[in-house]
């Protein structure tokens, strides 16, 4: 209860492949030990090619999702185009740092493909918006320690979309098995430059 | 130790709230209704800090009703839930947050779908088939996981509700003085406590029963 980031539970992971990225989250929303919902998605998309995973305090996940929906919609109207992942990452960073001394208790990760350069992009943040750029994978949430271990051993460079899906799913599912605050199903997004696939993993229900 | 419990049925939502109002170790009222009718098709049930609860519930009620009068159309239950969440989220980072947990049960006449939203004092809002706040959740969720089914009739829902209440009566250390049960469906909001307690309400009106109970405590 003392740590707001661990009240509701939940994890996210993003990975880079060959001309593709994957981002996945679990579906649990709990109140400490008690599971409340098994339908709580933590990955949101803003435009065609930008995805944001939000773990941490559920109320801040919902608040920030609403904030970013508003900001990206205003961006779209002002610029007459969709926001790019790199730009969105900076938007997330500055939005979080605005609340430097009363932060949102979240661990965001961004995944997407730049529509101009067609380069995959992933990055993570701490709760006050410090960006962590990565070439391989980014993890976040209550199973982040386990996810680091799984990703470190399963991930390899230049995976094709199908292989990336398997790698990402296995990493998340195995990490969730050791996390009492996560699990209860998972969602995996596979993003390539002209196709996005969303998959539901049933996973263990304990 | 207040009970707030809700479950979705076919074309409606059942909500049960305990009748005891407590301050510390004393029961100070046995006919306390912990619900407010936000608009003709949305009901809010609440628990939490004494004072905050009624204040907050009536603030939300006043604003949803005002919206109905101003725009000549009622807010949908999901819209009411979003509004409620927003108010709680704003309060959460204020000098004194509302310490109120609510269930919002509603029937949307436009989509003809019943919905049940659980919102805690942190302002996490989730739409669920069945939900409970506080200790009641620990005792009833397992029963609801086992017996709740999509598209249950009102009669089946009442039977399940009775099972939950019986479990709470046996396991909770204090007497919560029974519950009020209300249903929200296409015909609006009705008290169906008599269906859950058939022995205690032979043909009597709910209000008469209350007077008797309060009289007993006073005596």
In this prediction, residue B211 carries a pLDDT of 46
Q: Span A117-130, mean pLDDT? A: 98
> Alpha-carbon distance B136 to B89, whole Å?
24
Q: Residue written as tokens 């205003």?
A: A74
Mean pLDDT of A7-18: 98
Question: CB–CB of B123 and A37 under 8 A?
Answer: no
Q: How many CB atoms lie within 10 A of CB A131?
A: 16
Chain B residues 153-172 within an 8 A CB cutoff of chain A: none
Give the whole-angstrom CA distance, residue B104 versus residue A148. Answer: 39
Give percent above pLDDT 70 in chain A.
100
Domain ranges of chain A: 4-201
Contact A62 B124 (CB under 8 A): yes
Does position A76 have pLDDT exceeding 90, yes or no?
A: yes
C-alpha distances in Å from residue B51, one per residue of B4, B90, B216: 17, 18, 26
Please tell me which of the candidates A8, A34, A102 has its beta carbon nearest to residue B93: A102
pLDDT reported for residue A13: 98
Q: Do B122 and A62 touch (CB under 8 A)?
A: no
Distance from CA of A90 to the nearest CA of B (A): 24
Which residues face B15 on adjacent strands? B6, B182
Which range is least confidently modeled, A48-52, A180-184, B40-44, B200-204? B200-204
Q: Tell me: the pLDDT tens digits for A138-148?
A: 999 999 999 99
User: A38: pLDDT confidence band, cut at 50, 70 and 90?
Assistant: very high
Question: Which of B78, B122, B146 is the best mutation test for A, with the most CBs of A within 10 A?
Answer: B122
- Chain A residues closer than 8 Å to B89 by CB: 59, 62-63
Query: Does the pLDDT of residue B214 top 50, yes or no?
Result: no
pLDDT tops 50 at residue A67: yes
Whether B207 has a pLDDT exceeding 50, the answer reads no
Cα separation, A102 vs A185, in Å, equals: 32
Counting runs of H as helices and runs of E as strands, what totals does chain A give?
4, 12
> Can you give the pLDDT at residue B197?
83
Q: Given a cut of 50, is residue A95 above it in pLDDT?
A: yes
Pairwise CA distance, residues A12 & A15, whole Å? 10
**pLDDT for the residue numbered A194:** 92
Percent of chain A with pLDDT over 90: 98
Q: Which of B126, B137, B138 sits opposite A40 (nearest CB)?
A: B126
d(CA A177, CA A205): 10
Number of domains in chain B: 1
Contact A59 B92 (CB under 8 A): yes
What's the pLDDT band for B196 if we cut at 50, 70, 90? confident
Mean pLDDT value across chain A: 97
CATH no., domain A4-201: 3.60.20.10
Does pLDDT of B200 surpass 70? Answer: no
- pLDDT at residue B210, as a whole number: 42
d(CA A143, CA A71): 29
Q: Is A23 helix (H, G, I), strand (E, B) or coil?
A: strand
* SS3 state of residue B151: coil
User: Taking CB atoms and an 8 Å limit, are A36 and B125 in contact across chains?
Assistant: no
pLDDT of residue B204: 44
Has the ipTM of the complex gone over 0.85? yes
Q: Indicate yes or no: CB of B124 within 8 angstroms of CB of A63.
A: no
- pLDDT for B203 beyond 80: no
| B82: CATH | 3.60.20.10
Residue with tokens 């130790």: B1
- Residues in chain B with CB shorter than 8 Å from the CB of A29 are 124, 126
- With contact defined as beta carbons under 8 Å apart, do B57 and B121 qualify? no
Three-point CA angle B118, B139, A176, nearest 5° = 70
pLDDT for B202 equals 52
CB atoms within 10 A of CB B194: 16
The reply to whether residue B131 touches residue A7, judged by beta carbons under 8 angstroms, is no
Q: Give the number of other Cβ atoms within 10 Å of residue A67's Cβ.
A: 15
pLDDT at res. B201: 59
Q: What is the pLDDT of residues A144-163, one digit of tens each?
A: 999 999 999 999 999 999 99
Q: What is the pTM of this model?
A: 0.92
Instruction: Look at residue B50 and tell me whether its pLDDT is greater than 60.
Output: yes
Residues of A in contact with B131 (CB under 8 A): 36
Span B39-50, average pLDDT? 97
Looking at the complex, report in whole angstroms how far the Cα of residue A79 sits from the nearest Cα belonging to chain B: 29
Distance from CA of A31 to the nearest CA of B (A): 10
Domain hosting B169: range is 3-218
Measured distance CA(B193)–CA(B198) in Å, rounded: 8
Dihedral sign of CA atoms A35, B38, B155, B136 in order: positive
How, if at all, do strands A20-26 and A186-192 pair?
antiparallel
The nearest CA of chain A is from the CA of B96 a distance in Å of 15
Q: Which two tokens stand for residue B87?
A: 């108010």
Does the beta carbon of B142 lie under 8 angstroms from any beta carbon of chain A?
no
* Closest B-chain CA to A29: B126
Lookup: tokens for A158? 């230049």
Please compute the mean of the pLDDT values over residues A71-83 and round it to a whole number.
Answer: 98
pLDDT at B219: 43
- For chain B, what is the mean pLDDT? 92
Judged against a pLDDT cut of 80, whether residue B143 lies above it is answered with yes
Residue B212 is predicted with a pLDDT of: 44
């Amino acid at each position: 209860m003392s740590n707001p980031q661990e009240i509701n539970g939940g994890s996210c992971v993003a990975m880079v492949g060959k001309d593709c990225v994957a981002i996945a989250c679990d579906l649990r929303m709990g109140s400490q030990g008690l599971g409340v919902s098994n339908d709580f998605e933590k990955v949101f998309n803003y435009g065609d090619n930008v995805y944001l995973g939000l773990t941490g305090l559920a109320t801040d996940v919902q608040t920030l999702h609403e904030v970013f929906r508003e900001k990206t919609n205003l961006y779209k109207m002002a610029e007459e185009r969709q926001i790019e992942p790199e730009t969105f990452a900076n938007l997330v960073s500055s939005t979080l740092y605005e609340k430097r001394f009363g932060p949102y208790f979240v661990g965001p990760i961004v995944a997407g493909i730049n529509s101009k350069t067609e380069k995959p992009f992933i990055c993570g943040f701490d709760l006050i918006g410090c960006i962590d750029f990565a070439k391989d994978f980014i993890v976040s949430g209550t199973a982040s320690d386990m996810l680091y271990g799984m990703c470190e051993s399963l991930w390899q460079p230049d995976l094709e979309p199908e292989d990336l899906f398997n790698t990402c799913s296995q990493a998340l599912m195995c990490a969730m098995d050791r996390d009492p605050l996560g699990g209860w199903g998972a969602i995996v997004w596979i993003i390539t430059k002209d196709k996005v696939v969303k998959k539901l993993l049933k996973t263990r229900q304990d | 130790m207040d009970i707030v419990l809700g479950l979705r049925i076919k074309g409606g939502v059942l909500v049960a709230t305990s009748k005891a109002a407590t301050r510390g170790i004393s029961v100070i009222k046995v006919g306390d209704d912990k619900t407010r009718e936000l608009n003709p098709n949305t009901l809010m049930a609440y628990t939490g800090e004494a004072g905050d609860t009624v204040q907050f519930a009536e603030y939300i009620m006043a604003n949803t009703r005002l919206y109905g009068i101003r725009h000549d159309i009622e807010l949908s239950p999901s819209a009411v839930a979003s509004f409620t969440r927003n108010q709680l989220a704003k309060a959460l980072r204020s000098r004194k947050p509302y310490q109120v947990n609510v269930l919002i049960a509603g029937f949307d006449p436009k989509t003809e779908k019943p919905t049940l939203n659980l919102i805690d004092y942190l302002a996490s809002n989730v739409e669920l088939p069945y939900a409970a706040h506080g200790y009641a959740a620990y005792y009833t969720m397992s029963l609801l996981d086992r017996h709740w089914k999509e598209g249950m009739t009102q009669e089946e829902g009442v039977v399940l509700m009775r099972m939950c209440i019986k479990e709470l009566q046996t396991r909770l250390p204090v007497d919560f003085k029974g519950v009020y049960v209300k249903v929200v469906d296409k015909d609006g909001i009705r008290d169906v406590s008599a269906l859950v307690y058939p022995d205690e309400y032979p043909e009597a009106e709910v209000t008469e029963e209350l007077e008797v109970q309060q009289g007993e405590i006073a005596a």
